[in-house]
Amino acid sequence: MAASIQSLCAPSSFSTTKSIDSKRFHGRKVGLLEVRSDNRTKCGSMPVRCKTGNLVTHAVASPAAASTASSKTGHEVLLFEALREGLDEEMERDSRVCVMGEDVGHYGGSYKVTKGLAPKYGDLRVVDTPIAENSFTGMGIGAAMTGLRPVIEGMNMGFLLLAFNQISNNCGMLHYTSGGQFTIPVVIRGPGGVGRQLGAEHSQRLESYFQSIPGIQMVACSTPYNAKGLMKAAIRSENPVILFEHVLLYNLKERIPDEEYVLSLEEAEMVRPGEHVTILTYSRMRYHVMQAAKTLVNKGYDPESGMRTGGIGASLTAAINENFNDYLDAPIVCLSSQDVPTPYAGTLEEWTVVQPAQIVTAVEQLCR
């Protein structure tokens, strides 16, 4: 399935009135009680998993602009360390939080996200499971039904396909079919995506499969700052959350604040405000878009790029078209990965995802 990023051309007047607060969609008028359009991205009338620009939720700290975190007093971390910090802080704070997954305990995690947690919290809180994704995901969900808050790690997002029944039927639907009796506060996380020539089965982009499951929230992180914040928010959320990480981003370095902060799961991050074009993207594509943005700026455009912490694909296009047709100056362009299994060869792999050059061309065409 194709993962995608999109370019949106919004009217310039539209973008200037936009607050930093993300919502690419209209409806954020202050003081409004009823909003006419559906902010949740969904095509058709399917019940929606909440992801993108929604009405205000309790954002504990503002997900301000990108990597330049305000503190000079913070500490530098790599993204996987930021995830670990978030996990560690939450496990310390709430004894119901536990981790389950393959090699998360004694081995420290295949990407070192859980390194050091097992010696600190013990084998029952950081559980090394056998290789049985369907069952240990089900086990985590069963434990969540009684009130525990497991963080289930899939060594690779693609392996979660084995647990799809548990995620879709039990995780997503139990709150609904039980009439609200059970909440399932799990976090299912893992690395996915293309890069590093891992081959077709280890480079899957599963966002589009999961987005049709009502009842779960999908979130993607792209910088150490938002990785830590989103990890904490996901653990604190009462809903099941799937946190998508990206293999190539694990070694990003950034300075993050020392003090505790939690990000909101429903707001997108405004990376670079601008006037001419709005580009929506998430995860690793953020960096491609930023690169493209630089080129575009040099060419005289002023692109505004928003990072969606969730929300993807054709459904975004459909939802925007459906609800905001009046506001669009030009048709939406959707750039996405190719609908092919990821090949192994390095050069071919590069062309399965969108490259900055393509983004630049698309924007130029759009704004002609």
Piece of 111-119, 174-182, 246-254, 360-368 that binds other proteins (CB under 8 A): 174-182
- 223: which residues sit within 8 A by CB, 6+ positions away? 66, 67, 79, 249, 252, 254, 286
Phi and psi at residue 103, to the nearest 5°: 60, 25
Q: What is the spatial distance between Cα 368 and Cα 222, in angstroms, rounded to a whole number?
A: 31
129-163 in b/e burial notation, b at 16+ Cβ within 10 A? beeebbebbbbbbebbbeebbbbbbbbbbbbbbbb
182: amino acid identity, one letter: F
Q: Smallest distance from the beta carbon of 104 to other proteins, in angstroms?
A: 14
Q: Which of 129, 283, 309, 315 binds other proteins (CB under 8 A)?
A: 129
User: Which residues are paired to 101 by β-bridges?
Assistant: 128, 153
Tokens coding 364? 């130029």
Q: Of 179 and 300, which has the nearer Cβ to other proteins?
A: 179
Is 132 an interacting residue with respect to other proteins (CB under 8 A)? yes
- Min dist. Cβ of residue 316 to other proteins (A): 16
CB of 97 to other proteins, least distance (A): 11
Tell me whether residue 110 or residue 134 sits nearer to other proteins (CB atom). 134
98 counts as binding other proteins under rule CB under 8 A: yes
Q: With binding defined as CB under 8 A, does residue 179 bind other proteins? A: yes
- In the complex with other proteins, the residue whose CB is nearer, 4 or 239, is 239
The per-residue DSSP string of 308-350 comes to -SS--HHHHHHHHHHHHGGG-SS--EEEE--SSPPPSSHHHHH
Cβ-based nearer residue to other proteins, 129 or 281: 129
**Are the beta carbons of 81 and 284 closer than 8 angstroms?**
no
Nearest to 80 by CA among 164, 161, 189: 189
Residue 127 Cβ vs other proteins, minimum distance, rounded to whole Å: 8
Place of tokens 């459906």: 322
Residues 231-250 within binding reach of other proteins (CB under 8 A): 237-239
Residues 338-367 that bind other proteins (CB under 8 A): none
- The region that residue 122 occupies, defined by phi over 0 for left and psi between -120 and 50 for alpha, beta otherwise, is left
Residue 138 in the binding site for other proteins (CB under 8 A): yes
Question: Which one of residues 53, 86, 101, 140 is an interface residue with other proteins (CB under 8 A)?
Answer: 140
Confirm or reject binding of residue 325 to other proteins (CB under 8 A): no
For CA atoms 11, 16, 20, 26, the dihedral sign is negative
CB of 126 within 8 A of CB of 118? Answer: yes
The residue among 185 and 191 lying less far from other proteins, judged by its C-beta, is 185
Question: Is residue 29 within the footprint of other proteins (CB under 8 A)?
Answer: no
Least Å distance, CB 34 to other proteins, is 6
- Note whether 56 binds other proteins by CB under 8 A: yes
In this chain, which of 2, 10, 50, 353 binds other proteins, going by CB under 8 A? 50
Per rule CB under 8 A, count of chain residues that contact other proteins: 63
- The residue from 83, 144, 289, 332 that contacts other proteins (CB under 8 A) is 144
- Based on the shown chain and the rule CB under 8 A, indicate whether residue 175 belongs to the binding site for other proteins: yes
Burial class (CB in 10 A: 0-12, 13-18, 19+), 118: buried
- Any idea what DSSP says for residue 64? -
- Tokens 């700290």, residue located: 61
For the bound state, the minimum distance from the C-beta of residue 193 to other proteins, rounded and expressed in Å, comes to 26
What does the binding site for other proteins look like in residue numbers (CB under 8 A)? Answer: 27, 31, 33-40, 42, 45, 47-48, 50, 54-58, 98, 124-125, 127, 129-130, 132, 134-148, 165-166, 169-170, 174-183, 214-215, 217, 237-239, 266
